[in-house]
Structure 1
């Protein structure tokens, strides 16, 4: 099952012209919007490993305000800062 899922993830990533950096930011925003507790830290850590700055990740949380609401965006900012401020 896991191998099939990994292949699906890869196929989805390669299905269009969006570059890896943009895909990571999009995935983080989807994790924020869906309030996915399991995905959020993973996407933040991977983004940092891939060279995306803490400020860029925090902006993703700010961009969530109009769409997901202030409480969801602040929660996202809090968990982003919990990871980025201690790296």
Structure 2
């Protein structure tokens, strides 16, 4: 798998204005567009990235959710909710990222 974190770093260097606007949009949506709390937003982002098979993003979203106060149990339940909607294989792929992040 290509290291998208490294690729994103290069993107930021090559397109600083585009990146600035992208980050501004992210902040606007996360912080100013509704009542959903920070922890819940990151749990939602976990579900979105996992169901879309964006595993690098999933790793980042798991860490951000943890920083926002989500417990490992809340993150696991969020991942388990994938099974009836997007299937067991997608869950297992996401669960492997979860296990890697928490090294358990």
Q: How far 1:38 moved relative to its partner?
A: 2.3
Tell me the SS of whatever aligns to 2:74: helix
| Residue of structure 2 equivalent to 1:10 | 27
CA RMSD of aligned residues (A): 1.2
Question: Is residue 58–residue 81 contact of structure 1 (8 Å, CA) maintained in 2?
Answer: no
Tell me which stretches of 4 or more aligned residues in structure 1 moved more than 6 Å: none
One of 19, 27, 48 as aligned partner of 2:37: 19
* TM-score (normalizing by structure 1): 0.90
Q: How far 1:58 moved relative to its partner?
A: 1.1
Tell me the SS of whatever aligns to 2:34: coil
* TM-score (normalizing by structure 2): 0.76
> Please, which runs of 5 or more residues in structure 2 have no aligned partner?
1-17
> Please, which runs of 5 or more residues in structure 1 have no aligned partner?
none
